[in-house]
């Protein structure tokens, strides 16, 4: 870990000079290849996608329709049954996020029954929308309707999730009904707030990135402008809107300073992630260097001083967020699943500005560890909190009173194809390694890339090029930050790697059937934390490839608390197809002790027991 941090600290981010300022030229050099163009066929991810489709979606639908009042709230709002709202003020957002997941699932697996369910929900949203475009069941049904007075009442947060769902469903099905509901709500917000109207700071960010999606879907630039206006409202003392906040300070809502001046992550972790995503999305169009500089400063602060080995962030339960630099407790780590997914969303965007693999490294770390731990192997239960140590009492649940994490995983998993490839003027970027076939447009040429690999268990990747005639382009392969030794070959002939910002660049005229072979050594690594992390002094963790490992009592029944690791431990690795859905199991030999390690994401899928990522060294208490 120390080495990892040192390497990151040494990388100086050089932004390309933005000579072009035309409005339609993105400040981002890389355009992601959408998941709709990527068919995943992978021994690691395909079973997860299958359980998402067969189990997770049904769990979410059942919770939303039957176990809680979430859908009933829309039915009641349509009938103006004032006083009868059930649940929390932000519960609408879970319905929208589940719908977004259903839309992505329909893209991967067309299903008329599921599509009919989506249409049924959308009809209920539309019926609940008020004449003036306002839509939020908690306020429509409130006895004392104090809409648009409390920054922390999540009205724009819910609207943002509705917009993300509306855009997703429109993109997948071409059906406009929900998109039109979203447009009416966005237009309503813009009649109340904006330049020359009322000031406003949404207490939970989300609307900012959603408005950029609405701009992309409709071509209406006013939504981009409104998003930028909302971002620039922050940090001027406007957030309370005259109503004093009882519980939280301005930093909690990222409202303590203007966004261009931010350098340190503070407050609520998920809100911070959505803010940074919104800033990146707006800056892509406005080329606002002040935003981009702030995001790079914030990235250093998050990744070098406030991130767990699992890619999780937000150490404190009390504010669901940050405390002090290097304060990274394991047992009480909060690491909300949504924050890890947020790290994927944000780092994906940052990578697109510059093509620097350090962002994709963090994206991969958060995805395979902090985020993936948020759902059980069978897809039926979820973690909200993801500690790096447990005394045996922390377990996944099918739902939560605040259900942001189940609905987050519901929309994240079916769209993971988004994070594999990108395209720039003269290059295809390969960021993640998983079995898939992708149709990619480079310039005016179509190319199909077919990836075969047993990643993350093995480091061998084969990438086959399918093209009519020939294609002159770079293919850029990310060399993961964890990888020290690798070889590259084209059609079996070794290539001397030219590396730029962590990518091997292969520039040639490709012909149909060309095969790139990437072979990454994937040894077990013993990692140390930054010595300023007091909690991890005298401890080591195990990582192999992108996966962080842990010990769980189920495999280490005798003397769990007495187990110790050593820098020079000997490791056996075995692929066990029958264990935890198929994993590479690691056995560490330390003197006469053996420690059985499993991937962190797979813990708490068997009988309850203790778990630890950071294990004391021999001789430590």
| Of 205 and 336, CB closest to Zn ion | 336
Residue 535 annotated as catalytic? no
Least distance (Å) from Zn ion to the CB of residue 384? 6
Structure tokens at 106: 């329909």
State in angstroms the smallest separation of the CB of 114 from Zn ion: 24
60, 118, 404, 405: the active-site residue: 404
User: Checking DSSP bridges between strand 515-520 and strand 486-490, what pairing results, if any?
Assistant: antiparallel
Which tokens belong to 246? 């009882």
| Closest residue to Zn ion, based on beta-carbon distance | 338
Which of the 8 DSSP states describes residue 53? I
Catalytic annotation, pick one of 205, 233, 320, 364: 320
| Rounded least distance, CB 96 to Zn ion, Å | 14
In 3D space, the residue among 160, 297, 151, 170 whose CA is nearest the CA of residue 227 turns out to be 160
Tokens of residue 537, six digits:
């002094």
| Binding to Zn ion, residues 318-377 (CB under 5 A) | 336, 338
How many residues make contact with Zn ion (CB under 5 A)?
4
Residue among 196 and 401 whose Cβ is closer to Zn ion: 401
Sign of CA dihedral 601, 602, 606, 607: negative
Q: Which uninterrupted H or E stretch holds 114?
A: helix 112-128
405 near Zn ion (CB under 5 A): yes
Q: Which is nearer to Zn ion, 288 or 336 (CB)?
A: 336
Give the max Cα distance, the chain. Answer: 74
Site string for Zn ion, 444-473 (x = CB under 5 A): ------------------------------
Residue 613 within binding range of Zn ion, rule CB under 5 A: no
Say whether residue 542 binds Zn ion (CB under 5 A): no
> Which residues are CB-contacts of 12 (< 8 A; sequence separation ≥ 6)?
none
Q: Which is nearer to Zn ion, 291 or 308 (CB)?
A: 308
404 is a contact residue toward Zn ion (CB under 5 A): yes
Smaller CB separation from Zn ion, 129 or 254: 254
- Minimum separation from the CB atom of position 400 to Zn ion (A): 8
What's the angle, vertex CA 58, arms to CA 56 and CA 63, rounded to 5? 100
Q: Which of residues 143-202 bind Zn ion (CB under 5 A)?
A: none
- CB atoms < 10 A from the CB of 37, how many? 18
Alpha-carbon distances of 229 from 131, 194, 201, 239, rounded to whole Å: 25, 7, 10, 14
Q: What is the DSSP string of 173-237?
A: H---HHHHHHHHHHHHHHHHBSTTSB----SS--HHHHHHHHHHHH--HHHHHHHHHHHHHTTSS
Kindly state whether residue 98 participates in binding Zn ion, applying the rule CB under 5 A.
no
> Is 567 known to be catalytic?
no
Instruction: Compute the least distance from the CB of residue 424 to Zn ion, in Å.
Output: 33
C-beta of 54: minimal distance to Zn ion in Å?
Answer: 23
Question: Which of 38/344 has CB closer to Zn ion?
Answer: 344
**Chain contacts with Zn ion (rule: CB under 5 A):** 336, 338, 404-405
Catalytic annotation, residues: 320, 404
């Amino acid at each position: 870990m120390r080495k990892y941090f040192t390497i990151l600290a040494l990388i100086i981010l050089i932004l390309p000079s933005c000579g072009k300022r035309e409005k339609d030229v993105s400040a981002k050099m890389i355009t992601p290849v959408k998941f709709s163009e990527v068919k995943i066929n992978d021994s690691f991810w395909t079973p997860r996608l299958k359980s998402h489709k067969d189990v997770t979606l049904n769990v979410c639908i059942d919770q939303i329709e039957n176990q809680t009042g979430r859908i009933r709230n829309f039915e009641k709002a349509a009938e103006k049954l004032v006083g009868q709202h059930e649940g929390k003020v932000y519960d609408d957002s879970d319905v929208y996020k589940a719908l977004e997941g259903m839309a992505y699932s329909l893209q991967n697996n067309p299903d008329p029954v599921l599509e009919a369910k989506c249409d049924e929900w959308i009809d209920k949203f539309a019926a609940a929308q008020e004449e003036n475009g306002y839509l939020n069941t908690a306020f429509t049904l409130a006895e004392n309707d104090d809409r648009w007075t409390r920054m922390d009442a999540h009205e724009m947060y819910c609207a943002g999730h509705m917009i993300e769902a509306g855009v997703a469903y429109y993109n997948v099905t071409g059906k406009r009904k929900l998109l039109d509901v979203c447009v009416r709500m966005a237009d309503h917000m813009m009649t109340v707030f904006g330049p020359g109207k009322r000031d406003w700071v949404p207490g939970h960010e989300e609307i900012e990135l959603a408005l950029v999606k609405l701009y992309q879907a409709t071509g209406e630039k006013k939504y981009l402008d409104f998003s930028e206006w909302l971002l620039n409202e922050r940090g001027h003392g406007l957030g309370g809107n005259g109503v004093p906040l009882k519980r939280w300070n301005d930093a909690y809502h990222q409202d303590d300073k203007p966004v261009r001046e931010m350098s340190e992550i503070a407050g609520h972790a998920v809100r911070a992630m959505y803010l940074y995503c919104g800033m990146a999305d707006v800056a892509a169009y406005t080329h606002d260097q002040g935003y981009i500089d702030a995001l790079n400063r914030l990235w250093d602060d998050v990744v070098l001083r406030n991130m767990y080995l699992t890619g999780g962030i937000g150490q404190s339960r009390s504010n669901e967020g940050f405390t002090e630099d290097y304060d990274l407790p394991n047992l009480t780590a909060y690491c909300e699943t949504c924050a890890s997914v947020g790290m994927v969303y944000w780092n994906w965007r940052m990578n697109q500005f510059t093509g620097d693999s350090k962002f994709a490294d963090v994206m991969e770390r958060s995805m395979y560890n902090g985020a993936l731990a948020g759902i059980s192997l069978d897809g039926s239960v979820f973690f909200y909190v993801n500690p790096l140590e447990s005394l045996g009492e922390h377990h996944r649940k099918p739902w939560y009173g605040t259900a942001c994490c189940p609905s987050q995983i519901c929309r994240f998993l079916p769209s993971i194809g988004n994070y594999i490839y990108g395209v720039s003027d003269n290059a295809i970027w390969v960021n993640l390694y998983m079995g898939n076939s992708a149709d990619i447009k480079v310039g005016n040429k179509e190319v199909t890339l077919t990836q075969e690999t047993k990643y993350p268990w093995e480091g061998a990747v084969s990438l086959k090029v399918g093209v009519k005639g020939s294609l002159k382009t770079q293919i850029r392969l990310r060399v993961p930050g964890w990888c020290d030794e690798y070889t590259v070959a084209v059609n079996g002939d070794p290539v001397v790697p030219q590396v730029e910002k962590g990518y091997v660049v292969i520039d040639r005229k490709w012909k149909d059937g060309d095969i790139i072979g990437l072979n990454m050594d994937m040894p077990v690594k013993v990692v140390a934390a930054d010595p300023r992390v007091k909690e991890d002094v005298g401890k080591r963790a195990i990582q192999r490839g992108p996966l962080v490992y842990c010990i769980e009592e189920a495999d280490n029944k005798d003397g769990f608390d007495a187990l110790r690791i050593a820098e020079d431990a000997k490791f056996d690795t075995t692929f066990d197809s029958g264990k935890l859905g198929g994993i590479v199991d690691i056995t560490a030999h330390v003197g006469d002790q053996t420690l059985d390690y499993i991937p962190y994401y797979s813990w708490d899928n068997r009988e309850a027991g203790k778990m630890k990522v950071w294990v004391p060294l021999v001789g430590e208490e």
